[in-house]
Amino acid sequence: MTANVISYRGKSAAREVGKALGFDAESLGRLAGLVSQWEWRGKTDTMAHSFQHAGFDLKHPRIAKYLELCMRIQDLPRHLGQHSGGMVICQGQLNRVVPLERASMPGRTVVQWDKEDCADLGIIKVDLLGLGMMAVLKDCVELIPRHYGEQIDLAQLPEDDDVYKVLQRADTVGMFQVESRAQMASLPRNYPVRFYDLVVQVAIIRPGPIVGKMMHPYMRRRQKKEAVTYPHPSLEPVLRRTLGVPLFQEQLLRIAMTAANFTGAEAEELRRAVGMRRSWERMKDLEGKLRAGMTANGMDAKTQDTIVENISSFALYGFPESHAASFALIAYASAYLKVKYLAAFTCAILNNQPMGFYAPAVLVKDAQRHGLRVKPIDAQVSEWACTMEHERDGTLSLRMGLGYAKGLRRQAAEALVESRSRLGRFQSAEDLALRVPMLNRKELILLARVGALNSLDGTEHRRDALWQVERAGKLEGPLLRQNSEWLRDGSETLPLERMNTAERLMADYGGTGLTVGRHPMHYRRSELLRRGVLSAEELRRCKDGEHVRAAGCVIARQRPGTAKGFIFLSMEDETGIANVIVTPDLYEREQMTVVRSKFLLVEGILQNQDGVVHVKAKRVETLGAGRPIS
């Protein structure tokens, strides 16, 4: 594998310099959370500005030195990492050419040079990139015959109207390539009805088409709000299938050959230029050739400017059509499997985390809203991975796996499963501790806290299980062990009360990162209704231009480099996901709230156009704890 030189950036510099200077962890966490990591950088997105927002006095000599050191180490190498997929192909002894080192993963070796160094020396590097969704599809292919009794062939999936209807509604959480906020905002407008529409959909939400001002013209033409036109009549055969808008690298090469008389060799040189991330200088050299060829073909200056801008913009991640078609195939397969086999798809995607745009907590809530029953971790039933269960009514449910218990070692969980398979159900917390000695006290407490021991005999609730776990950690000696029932507490005599809803939610999210119970916003709904706060579902029924209030759990924050400083938030409640637009001015005033708050209350103007709903925020505030939840 080739190496990756990891250098200091804002967050890492702030944390490590702060540690060296002796600042407390709370202050460092607050500062690191405010240091801008957005793709877009505005005038105030500076380290000094972050220091001020975090409450640091820049006039203090110690703080001033802290800031100075953070700035001085920016972009300096921190450590040598590993490229995600750059495999070196060689013959003979590579260590005679470049120093090697063993990677942390067994059987893997890393070249101590990055990909640019390898390219300069002529060492062959091939990127072998793995897609998490491919693992999900593989697992689905195995789960579906086992639980649904149907065979599935990914190469022969039929085009299905139900699948396209889901895509048209942008109900795409968990689906490959079409689940981001930007994709969801464009899907109802592009309204895919056939596979090639999905090919375009995958390719159009990219920096290349956006910077080249191609995305919105295509969508307007797709909606028949704008006539299809071409930069020049000679380009109609090249651009007809994408409604006169160049979207793919192959089209841009054909444009150069048609409009500027490029040869095959010159087109290949252009292909290499647009394929390189740092290709601006090479593109400028080729621009002269492009303009000379277009002038010879009688094209005016305005047409030339349009074509050059289209080609130049694809230096920013323009997509090949073949690549888009491959991704679209995986996107359609993921959509098909989610629509037709929800339990298998959800089980597979949860077993292949981390991947995709959303956390497991969001995936679970989305599956529940679509009708899937999700059961909690249970020491009597759960495997390490999530599994599917058959219900008495013939439906399928999902059982969360022990792997979602944060802090539970895999070898301890597998020892638990092995003992359960060999000797049967656990009778008590004491029985569990005796039969699985690999489980330490912290792991037993964790299982009790997240409700995984509630099904043990004589256990009525989580605090009951915690009480028993504490006792199991202090087992009696051999003299009393033969009559240990004398020392067993009756559940009715235990002094501990059940956890209330708020405590269970905190235990769930703290111990597993998710809850299979009701969404936290459900418990605030009656209070929020009195305050005029709408749910995500109610927002979809409101008219464009209405003044609305919305609240939810922030599940995504984005500030794309192409969005001119605007921030896009996704907020989830028990009914779905609401999208919020935060202007640069509002962000400047409420940066701490926007960046740090987990639950937000937003007030602003609703934008409901073409089935796409956003709230353009005028005011944001942290949604407080409210009254205690019983």
> Phi/psi at 415 (nearest 5 deg)?
-65, -40
Q: What is the pLDDT of residues 142-178, one digit of tens each?
A: 999 999 999 999 999 999 999 999 999 999 999 999 9
Rounded to whole angstroms, the Cα distance separating 227 from 452 reads 60
Residue 333 lies in a domain: no
Confidence at 280, pLDDT banded by 50, 70, 90: low
Same domain, 125 and 186: no
> Phi/psi at 20 (nearest 5 deg)?
-65, -30
Enclosing H/E stretch for 579: strand 576-582
Domain boundary among 129, 148, 180: 129
Predicted local distance difference test score (pLDDT) of residue 304? 86
Q: Once rounded to an integer, what is the mean pLDDT over residues 593-615?
A: 91
- Tell me the residue range of the domain where 606 lies: 521-622
Confidence at 255, pLDDT banded by 50, 70, 90: confident
Residue 572 lies in a domain: yes
Predicted local distance difference test score (pLDDT) of residue 251? 83
Please name the residues in contact with 226: beta carbons below 8 A apart, sequence gap of 6 or more: 217, 220
DSSP track, 474-530: S---HHHHTTGGGGPPPGGG--PPPP-HHHHHHHHHHHHS--SSS-GGGGGHHHHHH
Residue 629 has pLDDT above 50, yes or no: no
Residue 349 lies in a domain: no
Residue 166 lies in a domain: yes
* Angular region, 514: left φ>0, alpha ψ -120 to 50, beta rest: beta
Task: Look at 422 and 9; give whichever has higher pLDDT.
Answer: 422
To 10 degrees, what angle do helices 249-259 and 264-275 make?
140
Percentage above 70 pLDDT, the chain: 88
Predicted local distance difference test score (pLDDT) of residue 560? 78
Token pair 């000379």: residue = 292
579 HSE (CA, 13 A, CB side): 20
Rounded to whole angstroms, the Cα distance separating 168 from 172 reads 9
Same domain, 149 and 259: yes
Same domain, 151 and 259: yes
8 Å CB contact between 320 and 250: yes
Q: What is the pLDDT of residues 457-491, one digit of tens each?
A: 878 889 989 988 887 766 555 555 555 554 455 54
8 Å CB contact between 150 and 144: yes
| Domain count for the chain | 4
Same domain, 1 and 80: yes
Q: Mean of the per-residue pLDDT values for the chain?
A: 86
Confidence at 565, pLDDT banded by 50, 70, 90: confident
Residue 347 lies in a domain: no
Q: What is the pLDDT of residues 493-550, one digit of tens each?
A: 566 788 999 999 999 999 999 999 999 999 999 999 999 999 999 999 999 999 999 9
**Cα–Cα separations (whole angstroms), residue 221 to 191, 207, 228, 236, 308:** 12, 20, 6, 15, 22
What CATH number has the domain bearing residue 583?
A: 2.40.50.140
Q: What is the pTM for the complete model shown?
A: 0.84
**Structure tokens that stand for 570 in this block:** 């996704």
Same domain, 148 and 291: yes
8 Å CB contact between 101 and 110: yes
8 Å CB contact between 377 and 391: no
Predicted local distance difference test score (pLDDT) of residue 562? 65
Q: What is the pLDDT of residues 76-111, one digit of tens each?
A: 888 888 877 788 888 888 888 888 888 877 888 888
257 HSE (CA, 13 A, CB side): 16
Same domain, 490 and 590: no
Q: How many CB atoms lie within 10 A of CB 264?
A: 9
Residue 340 lies in a domain: no
Q: Once rounded to an integer, what is the mean pLDDT over residues 562-577?
A: 88
Domain boundary among 514, 543, 578: 514
**Structure tokens that stand for 29 in this block:** 């966490």
Same domain, 94 and 154: no
Q: Once rounded to an integer, what is the mean pLDDT over residues 40-69?
A: 78
Residue 359 lies in a domain: no
Q: Once rounded to an integer, what is the mean pLDDT over residues 555-578?
A: 87
Domain boundary among 260, 291, 323: 323
Predicted local distance difference test score (pLDDT) of residue 474? 61
Same domain, 489 and 559: no
Rounded to whole angstroms, the Cα distance separating 52 from 43 reads 15
Same domain, 170 and 318: yes
**Cα–Cα separations (whole angstroms), residue 391 to 105, 141, 374, 394:** 41, 21, 12, 5
Stretch among 349-353, 548-552, 565-569 having the lowest mean pLDDT: 565-569
**Structure tokens that stand for 344 in this block:** 């298998």
Rounded to whole angstroms, the Cα distance separating 364 from 371 reads 11
